[in-house]
Amino acid sequence: MNQALKLTMKAINHQLLFILLCIFTLATEAANKISFDRITELESGNLKIVFHLDKVALINSYALDDPSRIVIDLKNTSIKEPIESKFFAPIKLIRANEVGNSVRVVLDLKGSVYWKKPWQVKHKDRVDLILEIKRDRKISNNLRDIIVAIDAGHGGRDPGAVGKNLLEKDVTLLISKELERTLKNTRGYMPIMIRPDDRYLNLDDRYQNARKLSADLFVSIHADAFSLSSVKGASVYVWSEEASSITAETLSKSKLSSSPEVKSKIGKLDIRDFDEDAARTLYQIAYEAKIDNSVILAEKILEQLKRDPYTKMHKPNVEFADFRVLKSVDIPSVLIESGFISNPDDAKRLAGKPGRRMIARSVFLGIHNYFKEKPKPNTFMTSLPKYIEYEIQKGDVISEIAIRFGVTIDEIINWNNLKNKSIYPGQIIQITI
Ligand SMILES: [Zn+2]
């Protein structure tokens, strides 16, 4: 063997070793393991069940009746140590088994429970998978709330679009809070605020948090600005992979290798987070369903925005764009541009409560109509509900409620046999929408 060939062989060996190392690293990185941790009874009477994971997982959870049970499917996960434990009522048994690359955890129950979809909390060395259940003798099927993630665009050191006396970050937070208020007091919905106040949150944390909190839907609220002040109106966006790949390509050519910001971001990537980009290839069916459902949700919101007398439309159809915040692999996600704060009419509309309330109402009604078309098992939107139930809050007036739900005062009075316009906190009223 001559010297040159020896060197080549050595290089090939090194290369082979490198490839093997890569495969090994990938394999160990890919594996997520689950183990049972504990079960505690909370003051609220809820039972809290905690499992440990190595990192955030792609989870599908649902409940079944007769016999009553809750099922949690975790993708790309294996069992660390056998899970099979008996507990006190209403839990009969907690068991788990591996199905291909997934783990199926089953809670066998005695009777129907009110349950909270399992959510994930990241710690330094692990991820906690938490679920809460409560025996409820009044319900005949297992029931849970629909979780809506509300993402108020920008925040903190990022003001978003800047208008005269008006910042996008303030407008988006106020619209989000209005939407949160409606969802919170409507039975069966649970809003989660991705940005609850004037704080900075990067785009990756926004969709990562929606996943960890087990959102059924993700709505991102924004407002535009443009150099031409005549441009106005609202639009609704859905993520587009094509637009995204073009941007990614440009980014990889121009910025990726040189930009210190991009470099520091790559450096900060947490391996305990779930990789939505990789998941798009792995879970193609879930991803396609997500896009279809996002379009339906966007259309339902658009339909309501068109009815809103205050708001003019910028784009009459659902738009597709590369908004990274929408890239979750399985959570239907839309972005609403509520108007142009660079336009005097839109700025005036978004600076005032009535204008913002109308945007929140369109989003709420859009979400509700989405679930009418895509019912969620084990929620109050399982089958078409005749009405929604709203709990009166301190300070509520009937005229305001009518506006928020897009109905008339007289309708509310008739549906609820109210003697007059007076209502009281804690009162539950029925609204047909
Ligand atoms: Zn924005």
Q: Give the tens place of pLDDT for each residue, 277-304.
A: 889 888 999 999 999 999 999 999 999 9
In a domain? residue 13:
no
Q: How far is the CA of 203 from the centre of ligand 1 (A)?
A: 11
In a domain? residue 255:
yes
CA-nearest of 179, 198, 199 to 189 is: 179
Q: How far is the CA of 153 from the centre of ligand 1 (A)?
A: 5
User: Range with the lowest mean pLDDT among 1-10, 23-32, 347-356, 402-411?
Assistant: 1-10
32-41/77-79 β-pairing? parallel
Q: How far is the CA of 12 from the centre of ligand 1 (A)?
A: 50
Q: How far is the CA of 402 from the centre of ligand 1 (A)?
A: 29
What phi-psi label fits residue 249: left (phi over 0), alpha (psi between -120 and 50 degrees) or beta? alpha
- Domain end residue (candidates: 93, 110, 135): 135
Q: What are the tokens at 297?
A: 């949700």
Rg, C-alpha atoms of the chain: 25
Average pLDDT over residues 217-223: 98
Q: Are residues 157 and 129 in the same domain?
A: no
CB hemisphere CA count around 68 (13 angstroms)? 22
Q: How far is the CA of 165 from the centre of ligand 1 (A)?
A: 17
In a domain? residue 279:
yes
pLDDT band at 10 (very low <50, low <70, confident <90, very high): low
Q: How far is the CA of 303 from the centre of ligand 1 (A)?
A: 22
pLDDT band at 268 (very low <50, low <70, confident <90, very high): low
pLDDT band at 240 (very low <50, low <70, confident <90, very high): confident
Q: Are residues 184 and 305 in the same domain?
A: yes
pLDDT at 250: 47
The CATH number that applies at residue 274 is 3.40.630.40
pLDDT at 380: 87
Biggest CA–CA distance in the chain, Å, is: 103
Q: Are residues 119 and 150 in the same domain?
A: no
Q: How far is the CA of 198 from the centre of ligand 1 (A)?
A: 14
- Domain end residue (candidates: 135, 168, 192): 135
Q: Are residues 289 and 413 in the same domain?
A: no
Q: Are residues 91 and 155 in the same domain?
A: no
Q: How far is the CA of 406 from the centre of ligand 1 (A)?
A: 26
In a domain? residue 116:
yes
27 three-state secondary structure: helix
Q: What's the CA gap between 176 and 368, in Å, rounded? A: 16
Average pLDDT over residues 194-199: 98
Q: How far is the CA of 359 from the centre of ligand 1 (A)?
A: 15
Q: How far is the CA of 151 from the centre of ligand 1 (A)?
A: 11
User: Range with the lowest mean pLDDT among 210-214, 225-229, 416-420?
Assistant: 416-420
Q: Are residues 359 and 278 in the same domain?
A: yes
Q: Quick check: 248 pLDDT over 90?
A: no
Q: How far is the CA of 335 from the centre of ligand 1 (A)?
A: 9
Number of domains in the chain: 3
Average pLDDT over residues 395-415: 94
pLDDT at 419: 84
Q: How far is the CA of 190 from the centre of ligand 1 (A)?
A: 24
Q: How far is the CA of 145 from the centre of ligand 1 (A)?
A: 29
How much of the chain exceeds pLDDT 90, in percent? 73
328 three-state secondary structure: coil
User: Range with the lowest mean pLDDT among 7-16, 180-189, 346-355, 390-399?
Assistant: 7-16
User: Could you tell me which residue, 85 or 368, shows the higher pLDDT?
Assistant: 368
In a domain? residue 163:
yes
CA-nearest of 361, 356, 359 to 404 is: 361
- Domain end residue (candidates: 68, 103, 135): 135
Average pLDDT over residues 305-324: 92
Q: Are residues 177 and 201 in the same domain?
A: yes
Q: Quick check: 319 pLDDT over 60?
A: yes
Q: How far is the CA of 223 from the centre of ligand 1 (A)?
A: 5
N- to C-terminal Cα separation, the chain: 83
Q: How far is the CA of 343 from the centre of ligand 1 (A)?
A: 15
Q: How far is the CA of 61 from the centre of ligand 1 (A)?
A: 32
In a domain? residue 381:
no
Q: What's the CA gap between 223 and 357, in Å, rounded? A: 14
Q: Are residues 285 and 180 in the same domain?
A: yes
Q: Quick check: 11 pLDDT over 60?
A: no
Q: How far is the CA of 159 from the centre of ligand 1 (A)?
A: 9
67 burial class (0-12, 13-18, 19+ CB within 10 angstroms)? exposed
Q: Are residues 191 and 267 in the same domain?
A: yes
Q: Residue 312 contacts by C-beta under 8 Å, 6 or more apart in sequence?
A: 232, 233, 234, 345
The CATH number that applies at residue 115 is 2.60.40.3500
User: Range with the lowest mean pLDDT among 16-30, 134-148, 223-237, 314-328?
Assistant: 16-30
Q: How far is the CA of 154 from the centre of ligand 1 (A)?
A: 6
Q: How far is the CA of 147 from the centre of ligand 1 (A)?
A: 23
Q: How far is the CA of 360 from the centre of ligand 1 (A)?
A: 16
**Is this model's pTM higher than 0.85 or not?**
yes
Average pLDDT over residues 399-415: 94
Average pLDDT over residues 138-153: 95
Q: What's the CA gap between 105 and 35, in Å, rounded? A: 10
Q: Are residues 367 and 396 in the same domain?
A: no
DSSP character at residue 145? P
pLDDT at 129: 98
What phi-psi label fits residue 357: left (phi over 0), alpha (psi between -120 and 50 degrees) or beta? alpha
Q: How far is the CA of 170 from the centre of ligand 1 (A)?
A: 11
Residue-wise pLDDT for 41-79, tens only, equals 999 999 999 999 999 999 999 999 999 999 999 999 999
Q: Quick check: 265 pLDDT over 70?
A: no
User: Could you tell me which residue, 36 or 17, shows the higher pLDDT?
Assistant: 36
Q: How far is the CA of 171 from the centre of ligand 1 (A)?
A: 10
Q: What are the tokens at 252?
A: 């990889």
Element (H, E) at 138: none
In a domain? residue 6:
no
Give the amino acid at 368: H
pLDDT at 269: 55
Q: How far is the CA of 56 from the centre of ligand 1 (A)?
A: 27
CA-nearest of 37, 39, 70 to 51 is: 37
Residue-wise pLDDT for 86-123, tens only, equals 777 899 999 999 999 999 999 999 999 999 999 999 99
Q: Are residues 279 and 357 in the same domain?
A: yes
Q: How far is the CA of 285 from the centre of ligand 1 (A)?
A: 30
In a domain? residue 97:
yes
Strand order in the sheet with 235-239: 189-193, 146-152, 217-224, 333-340, 235-239, 319-321
Q: How far is the CA of 168 from the centre of ligand 1 (A)?
A: 7
Q: Are residues 397 and 363 in the same domain?
A: no
Cα-Cα-Cα-Cα torsion 189, 280, 315, 368, nearest 10 degrees, comes to -20
pLDDT at 16: 53
Contact 371, 384 (CB under 8 A): no
pLDDT at 307: 94
Q: Quick check: 234 pLDDT over 50?
A: yes
For residue 407, what are the domain limits?
388-431
Mean pLDDT across the chain: 87
The CATH number that applies at residue 423 is 3.10.350.10
pLDDT at 243: 58
pLDDT at 89: 82
Q: Quick check: 177 pLDDT over 90?
A: yes
